[in-house]
Chains A and B, each alone.
Chain A
Amino acid sequence: MAGALLLEVGIALVTLALVGALAHRFRQSVIPGYIAAGILVGPYVPTEIGGISLRLVGNSEFVSTVGELGIILLLFFLGLEFNVGTLVANKTRLAKLGGLDLVLNGIMGVLIGYVFGFGVTGIILITGIVYISSSAIITKSLTDAGWLANPESDVILSTLVVEDIVIAVYLAVVSALVLGGGTFAEATMTVVQAFVFLAALAAVAYLGTDYIERIFDVGPDELFVLRIVGVAVLIGAIALSIGVSEAVAAFFVGTAFSETDLIERIEHLVTPLRDIFAAVFFFSIGLSTDLRVVAGVALLLLVAVILTTGTKLISGYASGRVYGLSTLRSTRVGMGLVARGEFSLIIATLASTSAIPVIRNTVPAFAVGYVLVMSLLGTLLIEYEDTISSVLGISP
Protein backbone atom coordinates (compact mmCIF):
# COMPACT_ATOMS: atom_id res chain seq x y z
CA MET A 1 0.00 0.00 0.00
CA ALA A 2 2.67 2.47 1.09
CA GLY A 3 4.80 1.21 -1.82
CA ALA A 4 2.07 2.02 -4.34
CA LEU A 5 1.62 5.52 -2.93
CA LEU A 6 5.34 6.12 -2.92
CA LEU A 7 5.47 5.05 -6.55
CA GLU A 8 2.74 7.57 -7.41
CA VAL A 9 4.60 10.35 -5.64
CA GLY A 10 7.81 9.38 -7.39
CA ILE A 11 6.10 9.41 -10.79
CA ALA A 12 4.51 12.76 -9.99
CA LEU A 13 7.80 14.40 -8.98
CA VAL A 14 9.79 12.99 -11.89
CA THR A 15 7.08 14.07 -14.36
CA LEU A 16 7.19 17.56 -12.85
CA ALA A 17 10.97 17.63 -13.08
CA LEU A 18 10.87 16.66 -16.76
CA VAL A 19 8.13 19.11 -17.67
CA GLY A 20 9.85 21.86 -15.67
CA ALA A 21 13.10 21.27 -17.57
CA LEU A 22 11.21 21.36 -20.87
CA ALA A 23 9.43 24.63 -19.98
CA HIS A 24 12.71 26.13 -18.86
CA ARG A 25 14.37 25.09 -22.10
CA PHE A 26 11.73 26.89 -24.16
CA ARG A 27 11.68 29.85 -21.79
CA GLN A 28 8.05 29.35 -20.92
CA SER A 29 6.24 29.50 -17.62
CA VAL A 30 6.33 26.20 -15.75
CA ILE A 31 2.77 26.52 -14.46
CA PRO A 32 0.88 25.42 -17.61
CA GLY A 33 3.44 22.64 -17.98
CA TYR A 34 2.78 21.33 -14.47
CA ILE A 35 -0.97 21.36 -15.09
CA ALA A 36 -0.54 19.59 -18.43
CA ALA A 37 1.65 17.00 -16.74
CA GLY A 38 -1.11 16.31 -14.24
CA ILE A 39 -3.71 15.96 -16.99
CA LEU A 40 -1.46 13.60 -18.94
CA VAL A 41 -0.75 11.08 -16.18
CA GLY A 42 -4.04 11.57 -14.34
CA PRO A 43 -7.19 9.46 -14.26
CA TYR A 44 -9.05 11.30 -17.05
CA VAL A 45 -8.55 11.35 -20.82
CA PRO A 46 -6.17 11.10 -22.54
CA THR A 47 -5.55 7.84 -20.71
CA GLU A 48 -3.51 6.24 -23.45
CA ILE A 49 -1.52 7.04 -26.56
CA GLY A 50 -1.35 4.26 -29.16
CA GLY A 51 -2.36 1.64 -26.64
CA ILE A 52 0.25 2.65 -24.08
CA SER A 53 -1.39 3.60 -20.84
CA LEU A 54 -0.54 7.06 -19.55
CA ARG A 55 -2.61 6.59 -16.46
CA LEU A 56 0.12 6.58 -13.89
CA VAL A 57 -1.29 8.53 -11.02
CA GLY A 58 -4.76 8.49 -9.56
CA ASN A 59 -6.04 11.64 -7.91
CA SER A 60 -4.69 10.47 -4.61
CA GLU A 61 -5.50 12.10 -1.34
CA PHE A 62 -1.80 12.48 -0.69
CA VAL A 63 -1.01 14.51 -3.80
CA SER A 64 -3.87 16.90 -3.19
CA THR A 65 -2.84 17.34 0.46
CA VAL A 66 0.70 18.24 -0.59
CA GLY A 67 -0.91 20.59 -3.12
CA GLU A 68 -2.75 22.25 -0.22
CA LEU A 69 0.63 22.89 1.39
CA GLY A 70 1.54 24.59 -1.88
CA ILE A 71 -1.46 26.91 -1.60
CA ILE A 72 -0.61 27.71 2.00
CA LEU A 73 3.01 28.54 1.22
CA LEU A 74 2.09 30.59 -1.90
CA LEU A 75 -0.19 32.79 0.17
CA PHE A 76 2.22 32.81 3.10
CA PHE A 77 4.82 34.39 0.82
CA LEU A 78 2.28 36.86 -0.45
CA GLY A 79 1.75 37.97 3.14
CA LEU A 80 5.48 37.98 3.76
CA GLU A 81 6.07 40.48 0.98
CA PHE A 82 3.10 42.56 2.02
CA ASN A 83 4.39 45.85 3.36
CA VAL A 84 1.95 48.23 5.00
CA GLY A 85 4.50 51.06 4.93
CA THR A 86 4.91 50.88 1.16
CA LEU A 87 1.15 50.73 0.76
CA VAL A 88 0.50 53.80 2.85
CA ALA A 89 3.34 55.73 1.22
CA ASN A 90 1.92 55.08 -2.26
CA LYS A 91 -1.76 54.91 -1.42
CA THR A 92 -2.99 57.43 -4.00
CA ARG A 93 -1.02 55.88 -6.79
CA LEU A 94 -1.90 52.33 -5.81
CA ALA A 95 -5.56 53.24 -5.49
CA LYS A 96 -5.58 54.61 -9.04
CA LEU A 97 -3.72 51.69 -10.63
CA GLY A 98 -5.52 49.06 -8.60
CA GLY A 99 -8.88 50.75 -9.10
CA LEU A 100 -8.57 50.79 -12.89
CA ASP A 101 -7.46 47.17 -12.88
CA LEU A 102 -10.21 46.02 -10.52
CA VAL A 103 -13.07 47.93 -12.09
CA LEU A 104 -12.37 47.15 -15.76
CA ASN A 105 -11.52 43.48 -15.31
CA GLY A 106 -14.07 42.95 -12.57
CA ILE A 107 -16.93 44.35 -14.66
CA MET A 108 -15.91 42.17 -17.58
CA GLY A 109 -15.89 39.10 -15.31
CA VAL A 110 -19.35 39.90 -13.98
CA LEU A 111 -20.67 40.42 -17.51
CA ILE A 112 -19.25 37.13 -18.78
CA GLY A 113 -20.59 35.20 -15.79
CA TYR A 114 -24.01 36.82 -16.17
CA VAL A 115 -24.31 36.27 -19.93
CA PHE A 116 -23.37 32.62 -19.56
CA GLY A 117 -26.15 32.15 -17.05
CA PHE A 118 -24.26 31.61 -13.82
CA GLY A 119 -25.88 32.45 -10.51
CA VAL A 120 -24.46 34.88 -7.98
CA THR A 121 -21.83 32.49 -6.58
CA GLY A 122 -20.77 31.44 -10.10
CA ILE A 123 -20.46 35.06 -11.23
CA ILE A 124 -18.35 35.95 -8.18
CA LEU A 125 -16.05 32.98 -8.76
CA ILE A 126 -15.60 33.66 -12.49
CA THR A 127 -14.97 37.34 -11.80
CA GLY A 128 -12.22 36.41 -9.36
CA ILE A 129 -10.66 33.96 -11.81
CA VAL A 130 -10.46 36.43 -14.70
CA TYR A 131 -9.54 39.44 -12.56
CA ILE A 132 -6.43 38.26 -10.81
CA SER A 133 -3.10 38.22 -12.65
CA SER A 134 -0.40 35.76 -11.76
CA SER A 135 2.34 37.23 -9.56
CA ALA A 136 4.51 34.15 -10.02
CA ILE A 137 4.41 34.05 -13.83
CA ILE A 138 4.63 37.80 -14.32
CA THR A 139 7.52 38.33 -11.92
CA LYS A 140 9.43 35.52 -13.60
CA SER A 141 8.71 36.87 -17.09
CA LEU A 142 9.75 40.40 -16.12
CA THR A 143 13.02 39.02 -14.80
CA ASP A 144 13.64 37.01 -17.97
CA ALA A 145 12.79 39.92 -20.26
CA GLY A 146 15.00 42.33 -18.33
CA TRP A 147 12.11 44.72 -17.69
CA LEU A 148 12.75 44.84 -13.96
CA ALA A 149 15.03 47.84 -14.35
CA ASN A 150 12.51 49.69 -16.54
CA PRO A 151 9.80 52.04 -15.27
CA GLU A 152 6.94 49.86 -16.57
CA SER A 153 7.83 47.15 -14.06
CA ASP A 154 7.02 49.56 -11.22
CA VAL A 155 3.47 49.96 -12.50
CA ILE A 156 3.06 46.25 -13.20
CA LEU A 157 4.36 45.18 -9.78
CA SER A 158 2.36 47.89 -7.99
CA THR A 159 -0.80 46.61 -9.67
CA LEU A 160 0.06 43.10 -8.52
CA VAL A 161 0.49 44.36 -4.96
CA VAL A 162 -3.04 45.78 -4.99
CA GLU A 163 -4.40 42.57 -6.52
CA ASP A 164 -2.74 40.59 -3.74
CA ILE A 165 -4.66 42.54 -1.12
CA VAL A 166 -7.90 42.33 -3.05
CA ILE A 167 -7.50 38.59 -3.43
CA ALA A 168 -6.88 38.12 0.30
CA VAL A 169 -10.13 39.91 1.13
CA TYR A 170 -11.91 38.18 -1.77
CA LEU A 171 -10.84 34.71 -0.65
CA ALA A 172 -11.88 35.45 2.91
CA VAL A 173 -15.39 36.40 1.84
CA VAL A 174 -15.87 33.92 -0.98
CA SER A 175 -14.52 30.91 0.87
CA ALA A 176 -16.91 31.69 3.67
CA LEU A 177 -19.74 31.88 1.12
CA VAL A 178 -18.77 28.67 -0.66
CA LEU A 179 -17.74 26.66 2.39
CA GLY A 180 -20.64 27.99 4.44
CA GLY A 181 -23.13 27.12 1.71
CA GLY A 182 -26.69 26.60 2.83
CA THR A 183 -28.92 29.46 3.81
CA PHE A 184 -28.11 33.13 3.79
CA ALA A 185 -28.04 33.19 7.59
CA GLU A 186 -25.55 30.34 7.69
CA ALA A 187 -23.36 32.02 5.12
CA THR A 188 -23.45 35.28 7.04
CA MET A 189 -22.53 33.42 10.20
CA THR A 190 -19.50 31.88 8.47
CA VAL A 191 -18.43 35.25 7.10
CA VAL A 192 -18.63 36.80 10.57
CA GLN A 193 -16.73 33.88 12.06
CA ALA A 194 -14.11 34.18 9.34
CA PHE A 195 -13.58 37.86 9.98
CA VAL A 196 -13.31 37.44 13.75
CA PHE A 197 -10.66 34.79 13.24
CA LEU A 198 -8.79 36.85 10.64
CA ALA A 199 -9.00 39.99 12.76
CA ALA A 200 -7.40 38.07 15.63
CA LEU A 201 -4.64 36.86 13.31
CA ALA A 202 -4.11 40.36 11.94
CA ALA A 203 -3.89 41.78 15.45
CA VAL A 204 -1.21 39.26 16.40
CA ALA A 205 0.61 39.99 13.14
CA TYR A 206 0.46 43.73 13.71
CA LEU A 207 1.23 43.91 17.41
CA GLY A 208 3.47 40.93 17.90
CA THR A 209 6.46 41.74 15.69
CA ASP A 210 9.06 41.78 18.48
CA TYR A 211 7.60 38.74 20.16
CA ILE A 212 7.39 36.78 16.90
CA GLU A 213 10.95 37.67 16.08
CA ARG A 214 12.15 36.29 19.40
CA ILE A 215 10.15 33.07 19.18
CA PHE A 216 11.24 32.22 15.65
CA ASP A 217 14.85 33.38 15.65
CA VAL A 218 16.54 30.04 16.26
CA GLY A 219 20.05 29.14 15.21
CA PRO A 220 19.82 25.90 13.22
CA ASP A 221 18.19 26.34 9.80
CA GLU A 222 16.36 23.07 10.18
CA LEU A 223 14.54 24.16 13.35
CA PHE A 224 13.83 27.54 11.84
CA VAL A 225 12.17 26.09 8.73
CA LEU A 226 10.18 23.62 10.82
CA ARG A 227 8.82 26.38 13.04
CA ILE A 228 7.83 28.65 10.16
CA VAL A 229 6.21 25.97 8.01
CA GLY A 230 4.69 24.25 11.01
CA VAL A 231 2.95 27.39 12.23
CA ALA A 232 1.75 28.38 8.74
CA VAL A 233 0.26 24.94 8.07
CA LEU A 234 -1.24 24.51 11.54
CA ILE A 235 -2.97 27.90 11.51
CA GLY A 236 -4.16 27.22 7.94
CA ALA A 237 -5.64 23.91 9.06
CA ILE A 238 -7.34 25.43 12.11
CA ALA A 239 -8.79 28.12 9.86
CA LEU A 240 -10.15 25.54 7.44
CA SER A 241 -11.79 23.57 10.24
CA ILE A 242 -13.83 26.60 11.30
CA GLY A 243 -14.80 27.50 7.74
CA VAL A 244 -12.11 30.10 6.94
CA SER A 245 -9.95 29.80 3.83
CA GLU A 246 -6.60 28.24 4.79
CA ALA A 247 -5.03 30.39 2.07
CA VAL A 248 -6.16 33.63 3.69
CA ALA A 249 -5.05 32.46 7.11
CA ALA A 250 -1.63 31.69 5.64
CA PHE A 251 -1.56 35.18 4.13
CA PHE A 252 -2.00 36.70 7.58
CA VAL A 253 0.62 34.40 9.08
CA GLY A 254 2.92 35.70 6.35
CA THR A 255 2.17 39.34 7.20
CA ALA A 256 3.15 38.61 10.80
CA PHE A 257 6.69 38.07 9.56
CA SER A 258 6.76 40.92 7.06
CA GLU A 259 8.00 43.46 9.62
CA THR A 260 10.58 41.22 11.25
CA ASP A 261 14.26 40.76 10.47
CA LEU A 262 13.57 37.13 9.65
CA ILE A 263 12.22 37.90 6.22
CA GLU A 264 15.44 37.32 4.29
CA ARG A 265 16.12 34.05 6.04
CA ILE A 266 12.61 32.87 5.23
CA GLU A 267 12.96 33.91 1.58
CA HIS A 268 16.22 32.05 1.42
CA LEU A 269 15.24 28.84 3.19
CA VAL A 270 11.53 28.38 2.57
CA THR A 271 11.30 29.41 -1.10
CA PRO A 272 12.52 26.03 -2.42
CA LEU A 273 9.92 24.30 -0.26
CA ARG A 274 7.18 26.60 -1.58
CA ASP A 275 8.25 25.95 -5.16
CA ILE A 276 8.12 22.18 -4.83
CA PHE A 277 4.76 22.18 -3.03
CA ALA A 278 3.33 24.71 -5.48
CA ALA A 279 4.43 22.49 -8.37
CA VAL A 280 2.53 19.61 -6.78
CA PHE A 281 -0.48 21.91 -6.37
CA PHE A 282 -0.53 22.70 -10.12
CA PHE A 283 -0.02 19.02 -10.82
CA SER A 284 -2.95 18.03 -8.61
CA ILE A 285 -5.10 20.58 -10.46
CA GLY A 286 -4.14 18.81 -13.68
CA LEU A 287 -4.94 15.42 -12.15
CA SER A 288 -8.47 16.44 -11.29
CA THR A 289 -9.08 18.02 -14.69
CA ASP A 290 -11.28 16.20 -17.15
CA LEU A 291 -10.55 17.60 -20.60
CA ARG A 292 -14.04 16.61 -21.77
CA VAL A 293 -15.52 19.04 -19.25
CA VAL A 294 -13.06 21.72 -20.38
CA ALA A 295 -14.20 21.11 -23.97
CA GLY A 296 -17.76 21.52 -22.72
CA VAL A 297 -17.02 25.09 -21.65
CA ALA A 298 -15.11 25.90 -24.85
CA LEU A 299 -17.33 28.81 -25.84
CA LEU A 300 -17.15 30.38 -22.38
CA LEU A 301 -13.40 29.86 -22.50
CA LEU A 302 -13.00 31.49 -25.90
CA VAL A 303 -15.10 34.51 -24.97
CA ALA A 304 -13.35 34.94 -21.64
CA VAL A 305 -9.87 34.66 -23.17
CA ILE A 306 -10.56 37.29 -25.82
CA LEU A 307 -12.45 39.78 -23.69
CA THR A 308 -10.32 39.60 -20.55
CA THR A 309 -7.09 39.82 -22.53
CA GLY A 310 -8.59 43.01 -23.93
CA THR A 311 -9.55 44.44 -20.55
CA LYS A 312 -6.12 43.71 -19.03
CA LEU A 313 -4.43 45.39 -22.00
CA ILE A 314 -6.70 48.41 -21.62
CA SER A 315 -6.51 48.70 -17.83
CA GLY A 316 -2.74 48.21 -17.95
CA TYR A 317 -2.34 50.79 -20.70
CA ALA A 318 -4.51 53.27 -18.80
CA SER A 319 -2.51 52.65 -15.60
CA GLY A 320 0.72 53.32 -17.47
CA ARG A 321 -0.71 56.56 -18.82
CA VAL A 322 -1.92 57.67 -15.39
CA TYR A 323 1.58 57.07 -14.12
CA GLY A 324 2.97 59.19 -16.96
CA LEU A 325 4.58 56.46 -19.03
CA SER A 326 5.03 56.61 -22.81
CA THR A 327 2.75 54.76 -25.23
CA LEU A 328 5.22 51.91 -25.59
CA ARG A 329 5.74 51.46 -21.86
CA SER A 330 2.02 51.73 -21.12
CA THR A 331 1.37 49.05 -23.75
CA ARG A 332 3.95 46.90 -22.00
CA VAL A 333 2.15 47.34 -18.68
CA GLY A 334 -0.97 45.92 -20.30
CA MET A 335 0.91 43.02 -21.86
CA GLY A 336 2.72 42.38 -18.61
CA LEU A 337 -0.50 41.86 -16.68
CA VAL A 338 -2.22 39.39 -19.03
CA ALA A 339 -0.89 36.16 -17.46
CA ARG A 340 -3.27 34.48 -15.02
CA GLY A 341 -2.13 31.60 -12.89
CA GLU A 342 -1.91 30.41 -9.31
CA PHE A 343 -4.62 32.58 -7.75
CA SER A 344 -7.18 31.73 -10.42
CA LEU A 345 -6.46 28.09 -9.68
CA ILE A 346 -6.81 28.62 -5.93
CA ILE A 347 -10.25 30.07 -6.65
CA ALA A 348 -10.93 27.00 -8.81
CA THR A 349 -10.01 24.70 -5.91
CA LEU A 350 -12.47 26.64 -3.82
CA ALA A 351 -15.12 26.28 -6.53
CA SER A 352 -14.63 22.51 -6.60
CA THR A 353 -15.86 22.34 -2.99
CA SER A 354 -19.09 24.18 -3.81
CA ALA A 355 -22.41 22.52 -2.96
CA ILE A 356 -23.88 23.68 -6.28
CA PRO A 357 -23.24 20.95 -8.92
CA VAL A 358 -22.96 23.33 -11.91
CA ILE A 359 -20.27 25.35 -10.17
CA ARG A 360 -18.49 22.29 -8.84
CA ASN A 361 -18.29 20.78 -12.32
CA THR A 362 -17.79 23.63 -14.74
CA VAL A 363 -15.98 26.44 -12.92
CA PRO A 364 -12.80 24.49 -12.08
CA ALA A 365 -12.63 23.11 -15.64
CA PHE A 366 -13.09 26.61 -17.00
CA ALA A 367 -10.37 27.94 -14.68
CA VAL A 368 -7.88 25.28 -15.75
CA GLY A 369 -8.48 25.88 -19.46
CA TYR A 370 -8.37 29.63 -18.91
CA VAL A 371 -5.11 29.54 -16.92
CA LEU A 372 -3.49 27.23 -19.50
CA VAL A 373 -4.24 29.72 -22.28
CA MET A 374 -3.64 32.94 -20.34
CA SER A 375 -0.37 31.84 -18.75
CA LEU A 376 1.05 30.94 -22.16
CA LEU A 377 -0.38 34.04 -23.80
CA GLY A 378 0.94 36.30 -21.03
CA THR A 379 4.43 34.82 -21.21
CA LEU A 380 4.50 35.05 -25.01
CA LEU A 381 3.29 38.67 -25.01
CA ILE A 382 6.18 39.70 -22.78
CA GLU A 383 8.69 37.58 -24.68
CA TYR A 384 7.70 38.89 -28.12
CA GLU A 385 6.74 42.41 -27.04
CA ASP A 386 9.33 44.08 -29.27
CA THR A 387 8.12 42.26 -32.38
CA ILE A 388 4.47 43.00 -31.58
CA SER A 389 5.18 46.65 -30.82
CA SER A 390 7.11 47.17 -34.03
CA VAL A 391 4.31 45.49 -36.05
CA LEU A 392 1.82 47.81 -34.36
CA GLY A 393 4.12 50.73 -35.06
CA ILE A 394 4.58 51.69 -31.40
CA SER A 395 8.01 53.17 -30.90
CA PRO A 396 9.65 54.41 -27.74
Chain B
Amino acid sequence: MVIYEADVPGVGKRYEVETGDTERFVVIVHHDGKREIFRRDHPDADAEKLFEFPAGVSREIVTALQGVDFQPLDLDDVDMPLGNAIMEWVEIPDDSPLAGETIQAAQLRQKTGATVAAIQREDDTLASPKADTVLQPGDILVVIGTRPEQKSFESLIKTGSTETSN
Protein backbone atom coordinates (compact mmCIF):
# COMPACT_ATOMS: atom_id res chain seq x y z
CA MET B 1 0.00 0.00 0.00
CA VAL B 2 1.28 3.43 -0.89
CA ILE B 3 0.46 6.52 1.16
CA TYR B 4 1.31 9.85 -0.41
CA GLU B 5 1.97 12.57 2.09
CA ALA B 6 2.16 16.25 1.20
CA ASP B 7 2.30 19.57 2.99
CA VAL B 8 -0.55 21.86 2.10
CA PRO B 9 0.78 25.38 2.71
CA GLY B 10 -1.39 27.34 5.10
CA VAL B 11 -3.74 24.41 5.62
CA GLY B 12 -1.95 21.41 7.06
CA LYS B 13 -1.16 18.01 5.60
CA ARG B 14 -2.71 15.79 2.96
CA TYR B 15 -2.53 12.01 2.87
CA GLU B 16 -3.60 10.01 -0.16
CA VAL B 17 -4.01 6.25 0.02
CA GLU B 18 -4.39 4.06 -3.05
CA THR B 19 -7.39 1.90 -2.32
CA GLY B 20 -8.17 0.44 -5.71
CA ASP B 21 -6.93 0.43 -9.28
CA THR B 22 -7.57 4.13 -9.65
CA GLU B 23 -9.50 5.01 -6.51
CA ARG B 24 -7.89 7.07 -3.82
CA PHE B 25 -8.79 7.87 -0.26
CA VAL B 26 -7.74 11.38 0.73
CA VAL B 27 -7.39 12.75 4.24
CA ILE B 28 -6.67 16.41 4.86
CA VAL B 29 -5.54 17.25 8.37
CA HIS B 30 -5.93 20.95 9.07
CA HIS B 31 -3.69 22.83 11.47
CA ASP B 32 -6.68 23.37 13.76
CA GLY B 33 -7.15 19.61 14.07
CA LYS B 34 -10.08 19.35 11.68
CA ARG B 35 -10.00 16.30 9.41
CA GLU B 36 -11.64 16.09 6.02
CA ILE B 37 -12.11 12.78 4.24
CA PHE B 38 -12.41 12.68 0.46
CA ARG B 39 -12.74 9.96 -2.12
CA ARG B 40 -11.37 10.26 -5.62
CA ASP B 41 -12.79 7.81 -8.11
CA HIS B 42 -10.01 8.08 -10.64
CA PRO B 43 -7.15 10.53 -11.22
CA ASP B 44 -9.29 12.87 -13.36
CA ALA B 45 -12.28 12.90 -11.05
CA ASP B 46 -13.10 15.66 -8.63
CA ALA B 47 -12.64 14.73 -5.03
CA GLU B 48 -15.90 13.95 -3.33
CA LYS B 49 -16.03 15.03 0.28
CA LEU B 50 -17.31 12.23 2.48
CA PHE B 51 -16.82 13.38 6.05
CA GLU B 52 -15.48 16.13 8.19
CA PHE B 53 -14.81 15.92 11.89
CA PRO B 54 -12.79 17.49 14.69
CA ALA B 55 -9.63 15.94 16.11
CA GLY B 56 -11.34 14.16 19.01
CA VAL B 57 -13.87 12.36 16.85
CA SER B 58 -11.21 11.23 14.40
CA ARG B 59 -9.28 9.59 17.24
CA GLU B 60 -12.41 7.66 18.21
CA ILE B 61 -12.80 6.55 14.61
CA VAL B 62 -9.22 5.41 14.42
CA THR B 63 -9.57 3.22 17.52
CA ALA B 64 -12.62 1.67 15.90
CA LEU B 65 -10.72 1.02 12.67
CA GLN B 66 -7.77 -0.38 14.57
CA GLY B 67 -10.05 -2.81 16.37
CA VAL B 68 -9.00 -1.78 19.85
CA ASP B 69 -12.32 -2.84 21.40
CA PHE B 70 -13.43 -5.48 18.94
CA GLN B 71 -11.62 -7.70 16.43
CA PRO B 72 -13.72 -9.55 13.91
CA LEU B 73 -12.85 -13.30 13.89
CA ASP B 74 -10.92 -14.69 11.02
CA LEU B 75 -12.36 -18.22 10.90
CA ASP B 76 -9.18 -19.66 9.40
CA ASP B 77 -7.33 -18.72 12.51
CA VAL B 78 -9.68 -18.58 15.41
CA ASP B 79 -8.58 -18.47 18.97
CA MET B 80 -10.68 -17.65 21.96
CA PRO B 81 -9.23 -17.00 25.40
CA LEU B 82 -10.27 -19.28 28.28
CA GLY B 83 -8.08 -18.13 31.13
CA ASN B 84 -4.58 -19.28 30.21
CA ALA B 85 -5.97 -21.74 27.70
CA ILE B 86 -7.36 -20.89 24.30
CA MET B 87 -9.75 -22.68 22.01
CA GLU B 88 -8.66 -23.46 18.50
CA TRP B 89 -10.13 -25.24 15.50
CA VAL B 90 -7.66 -27.72 14.02
CA GLU B 91 -8.43 -29.59 10.82
CA ILE B 92 -7.05 -33.08 10.25
CA PRO B 93 -5.27 -33.02 6.91
CA ASP B 94 -5.71 -35.91 4.43
CA ASP B 95 -2.13 -37.02 4.91
CA SER B 96 -2.22 -36.83 8.69
CA PRO B 97 -0.45 -39.87 10.22
CA LEU B 98 -3.17 -39.95 12.86
CA ALA B 99 -6.10 -40.27 10.44
CA GLY B 100 -7.88 -43.54 11.10
CA GLU B 101 -6.63 -43.83 14.67
CA THR B 102 -8.82 -43.54 17.74
CA ILE B 103 -8.29 -40.64 20.09
CA GLN B 104 -6.98 -43.09 22.69
CA ALA B 105 -4.44 -44.65 20.31
CA ALA B 106 -3.27 -41.28 19.11
CA GLN B 107 -2.56 -40.32 22.76
CA LEU B 108 -3.48 -36.74 21.98
CA ARG B 109 -3.89 -35.58 25.56
CA GLN B 110 -0.99 -37.54 26.96
CA LYS B 111 1.47 -36.22 24.40
CA THR B 112 0.36 -32.60 24.16
CA GLY B 113 -1.71 -31.74 27.22
CA ALA B 114 -4.49 -30.32 25.03
CA THR B 115 -8.03 -31.68 25.13
CA VAL B 116 -10.36 -32.34 22.23
CA ALA B 117 -13.64 -30.74 23.32
CA ALA B 118 -15.64 -31.51 20.19
CA ILE B 119 -15.32 -32.70 16.63
CA GLN B 120 -17.02 -31.10 13.71
CA ARG B 121 -17.57 -33.70 11.03
CA GLU B 122 -19.38 -32.51 7.93
CA ASP B 123 -22.59 -31.01 9.30
CA ASP B 124 -22.49 -32.91 12.60
CA THR B 125 -20.86 -31.89 15.81
CA LEU B 126 -19.66 -34.65 18.14
CA ALA B 127 -19.53 -33.06 21.57
CA SER B 128 -17.13 -34.60 24.13
CA PRO B 129 -15.79 -37.32 21.80
CA LYS B 130 -15.03 -40.64 23.51
CA ALA B 131 -11.66 -42.35 23.65
CA ASP B 132 -12.68 -44.79 20.92
CA THR B 133 -13.77 -42.11 18.46
CA VAL B 134 -11.87 -42.57 15.20
CA LEU B 135 -10.19 -39.49 13.72
CA GLN B 136 -11.03 -38.96 10.07
CA PRO B 137 -9.39 -36.73 7.46
CA GLY B 138 -11.38 -33.49 7.21
CA ASP B 139 -12.48 -33.59 10.85
CA ILE B 140 -12.25 -30.23 12.54
CA LEU B 141 -11.19 -30.70 16.15
CA VAL B 142 -12.15 -28.10 18.71
CA VAL B 143 -9.09 -28.09 20.94
CA ILE B 144 -8.64 -26.52 24.34
CA GLY B 145 -5.18 -25.88 25.70
CA THR B 146 -2.50 -23.32 26.37
CA ARG B 147 -0.63 -21.80 23.50
CA PRO B 148 2.37 -24.22 23.71
CA GLU B 149 -0.06 -27.15 24.02
CA GLN B 150 -1.93 -25.97 20.93
CA LYS B 151 1.33 -25.73 19.08
CA SER B 152 2.46 -29.25 19.82
CA PHE B 153 -1.09 -30.51 19.15
CA GLU B 154 -1.06 -29.06 15.65
CA SER B 155 2.37 -30.49 15.07
CA LEU B 156 1.23 -33.93 16.25
CA ILE B 157 -1.77 -33.89 13.91
CA LYS B 158 0.33 -32.86 10.92
CA THR B 159 3.54 -34.81 11.43
CA GLY B 160 2.83 -37.45 14.08
CA SER B 161 5.41 -35.85 16.36
CA THR B 162 5.10 -33.16 19.03
CA GLU B 163 8.48 -31.66 18.10
CA THR B 164 7.73 -28.21 16.75
CA SER B 165 10.16 -26.73 14.36
CA ASN B 166 10.40 -22.99 14.58
Binds A, one of B44-52, B93-101, B140-148: B44-52
* B116 close to chain A: CB less than 8 A: no
From B6, B31, B38, B40, A271 is in contact (CB under 8 Å) with B31
Q: Given A264-B31, A268-B31, A326-B44: A148 and B9 within 8 A (CB)?
A: no
Q: How many A-B residue pairs have CB under 8 A?
A: 58
Let me know if B10 and A81 touch, CB within 8 A.
yes
* A88 close to chain B: CB less than 8 A: no
Residues of B with C-beta under 8 A to A146: 36, 38, 46-49
Residues of B with C-beta under 8 A to A326: 44
Residues of A with C-beta under 8 A to B14: 148-149
Let me know if B9 and A149 touch, CB within 8 A.
no
Let me know if B10 and A135 touch, CB within 8 A.
yes
Within 8 A of B (CB), among A106-155: 135, 139, 142-143, 146-150, 153-154
Let me know if B44 and A148 touch, CB within 8 A.
no
Residues of A with C-beta under 8 A to B119: none
From A153, A267, A268, B8 is in contact (CB under 8 Å) with A153
Tell me the bound Cα distance from A161 to B7 in angstroms.
Answer: 12
Query: Nearest Cβ distance between residue B141 and chain A, in whole angstroms?
Result: 51
Let me know if A149 and B32 touch, CB within 8 A.
no
Query: Nearest Cβ distance between residue A140 and chain B, in whole angstroms?
Result: 9
From B10, B30, B33, B47, A150 is in contact (CB under 8 Å) with B47
Let me know if A160 and B46 touch, CB within 8 A.
no
Query: Nearest Cβ distance between residue A149 and chain B, in whole angstroms?
Result: 3
The winner among A143, A149, A161 for most chain B CB atoms within 10 A is A149
* A166 close to chain B: CB less than 8 A: no
From A86, A135, A147, A153, B7 is in contact (CB under 8 Å) with A86
Tell me the bound Cα distance from A348 to B13 in angstroms.
Answer: 33
Let me know if A149 and B28 touch, CB within 8 A.
yes
Let me know if B11 and A271 touch, CB within 8 A.
no
Let me know if A396 and B44 touch, CB within 8 A.
yes
Q: Given A146-B47, A326-B44, A396-B46: A271 and B9 within 8 A (CB)?
A: no
Query: Nearest Cβ distance between residue A273 and chain B, in whole angstroms?
Result: 13
* A298 close to chain B: CB less than 8 A: no
Within 8 A of A (CB), among B13-35: 14, 26, 28, 30-33
* A54 close to chain B: CB less than 8 A: no
Residues of A with C-beta under 8 A to B44: 326, 396
Residues of B with C-beta under 8 A to A81: 9-10
Let me know if A143 and B32 touch, CB within 8 A.
no
Residues of B with C-beta under 8 A to A65: none
24 CB-based A-B contacts, threshold 8 Å:
A81-B9, A83-B7, A86-B7, A86-B9, A142-B11, A143-B30, A146-B46, A147-B47, A148-B8, A149-B14, A149-B36, A149-B38, A149-B49, A150-B47, A153-B8, A154-B6, A157-B8, A157-B9, A157-B10, A158-B9, A268-B31, A396-B44, A396-B45, A396-B46
